[in-house]
Amino acid sequence: MVLEVLFTLLKVFVVGGAICTIAQLLINYTKITAGKILVIFLLAGVVLQSVGLYQYLVDFAGAGATVPICGFGYLLADGAIKGAKISLFKAVTGGISSAAMGITAAIVFGYIFALIFKSRSKRN
């Protein structure tokens, strides 16, 4: 039981760490901005799920694959694919409805932290 939990944690850490390592290498060794890297990873999650590959990574690593931004792309694509089986309207709204909880949490916690901390522009 304990060994199984430790193996699961190891898989999550290795996959999530590999995704973050790739992003850090792109930041360090290319001139691609962080915003563009986020978009690339989001679209990579969408494309990989649309061809059916990202689900294998999610099944293997769980949160290691769903927590990074490419996991959000996977979630959007998965909702749209499932919605497309029902109707055209669900194909359009399926991605947003499947990601609604995460989007809501980001907005609510962002608002709470904006109230708690004094926000200001970044100084160069």
Alpha-carbon distances, residue 60 vs 9, 10, 12, 33, 35 (angstroms)? 11, 11, 8, 30, 28
- Determine contact, residues 80/94, Cβ cutoff 8 Å: yes
Q: What six digits make up the tokens of 6?
A: 């430790």
- Determine contact, residues 30/2, Cβ cutoff 8 Å: no
> Taking the CA of residue 106 as centre, how many other CA atoms within 13 Å lie in the half-sphere pointing to its CB?
8
CA distance 43 to 93: 18
Instruction: Give the start-to-end residue ranges of the domains of the chain.
Output: 2-116
> Taking the CA of residue 96 as centre, how many other CA atoms within 13 Å lie in the half-sphere pointing to its CB?
5
- Written as tens digits, the pLDDT of the chain (124 aa) is 899 999 999 999 999 999 999 999 999 999 999 899 999 999 999 999 999 999 999 999 999 999 899 999 999 999 999 999 999 999 889 988 888 988 899 999 999 999 998 877 777 5
